[in-house]
Chain A
């Protein structure tokens, strides 16, 4: 019965071996997932488990709709999508941060904070891949501003006058440095999280909690 099966949505690509390692250590995953396989679904009927391999950014969607009970997704994806899901554990890897950055040449203008910075330009345009996070940040700071959604190479925007500020995900900060940008504020850490569907969390509570405990103690 579907009642007893637990379905995991796992991110494909570079994160998969890390996630699989943790699930293996937690003695949950006991079948082989191909490294670069094309298979999208793996069944482990013996243990009543199923694994879906999907894109990192789609994990919260599979989980929110209940197509998967549990999933592993980056906090960046969770924040940006604002999905209605439970966040059960911080898996600790995939360490990167949402930061607000400005060109180092303009850093001086920033000394009174963003509102001071804003007064020099008369407008605040924020280039980002994460419009929801950017909107939320502006609103929480009480700043008027326009969010400009780009698909990549965010660092380019302030160099060519498309935006005064960027909000981006950084891990080492090297890309910022290379483009003469300085981080002026941190919004959130974006490590990988174990997430659960709200209904599954209640209907399959016992199994999900025991998995959560096992995963927490193995990462």
Chain B
């Protein structure tokens, strides 16, 4: 296609205009302050790193979505596809000697190749990683923090769904599915392809009884009441441990006051390959994708030579902002408080500095235009106070 004077933008990236950029920045500031108040410290990692360092730690999906390039020394580099992996690398290589648990937070743009139209290729994540705590209390802390974050952001009526990989595996194993069938079942269930799930059940050699028992698996949704139903479906130890930790997480979330927002769904499996135990996602009606996702990744740090349990989550800021926009929260437009013009440059600068120090937004006139034009410009912009610094005395006029 010939570029005939128009400025082209690649798909999947975006500009943020003043209102949007302000909302994003304000939100990030608020969230980072929240995370800090829970003891999480901000870290920053580079935008690109060596392919050979990050790639072995990534699951298939992220691996296939990497942007790779070759630098001037012939090394293969990747743009970070998430923040969890670089932070795992950072902790494993530079913070191994620190006392556990360690808490980190971040806000960063990440890059993924997306073949689908409408998916962002560069997007913004703000999140936390809790390293070196294995128990359900750590899982409960990050889920509660995610809920607090959405509340603080102003998202109304969000829902959090919690699943557990070991419990699901235990149910499938307990039913008598072969290893291959278990994998197929997980794919069908996590895609919520219930037609495929029913086909798989019908084609399997399970007894009629077992089939009936697990047929309800995709419909095991809800709160406390589903624990009892799950209990009857599992026998193996990892699944029992998983269920016990789900119960404990449920209790802590109730104590935090999020009982209404949280639900259990065993078929929730997150596509990123590194999750090992409890996983969760946050949703809001009207936004077609999860706003937030996270979970436990106990084997990731070991890939960088530091075996250490960890859990965390990331909010996808683009979707959170989308949710806020759908709630029709108006953008706060930044209108200066003062507009200062006049030929007494000394006074203009002095006054502007004084007002700025006191927290006002001050715009100084830059053009050599007639007074009336300058005042007309300021009132068009809706600036409430216009100061004219004339030599030698100062006049204050109020527009409107």
Contact = CB atoms under 8 A, between A and B. Distances in A.
A87 B219 contact: no
B157 A196 contact: no
Nearest to B158: A203
Contact of A202 (B116, B159, B193, B195): B159
Interface stretch (B85-93, B282-290, B302-310, B346-354): B282-290
B194 A65 contact: no
Contact of A198 (B198, B285, B288): B288
Nearest to B265: A202
Contact of B192 (A2, A64, A83, A196): A196
Contacts of B195: 87-90, 193
Contact of A65 (B118, B157, B263, B285): B118
B221 A205 contact: yes
A2 B156 CA distance: 12
Contacts of B125: none
Interface residues of B, number: 25
B191 A87 contact: yes
B134 interface: no
A3 B284 CA distance: 9
Q: Is the interface of A mostly helix, strand, loop or mixed?
A: mixed
A209 B116 CA distance: 28
Given A199-B287, A203-B285, A87 B193 contact: yes
Interface in B169-195: 191-195
A197 B288 contact: yes
Given A65-B118, A205-B221, A209-B219, A199 B194 contact: no
A75 B281 CA distance: 27
A202 B118 contact: no
A89 B194 contact: yes
Nearest to B157: A3
B196 interface: yes
A66 interface: yes
Interface in B204-223: 219, 221
A115 B129 CA distance: 49
The list of the 5 closest CB pairs from A to B, nearest first, reads A66-B288, A86-B192, A199-B283, A87-B193, A203-B285
Interface of B: 116, 118, 157, 159, 161, 191-196, 198, 219, 221, 263, 265, 281, 283-290
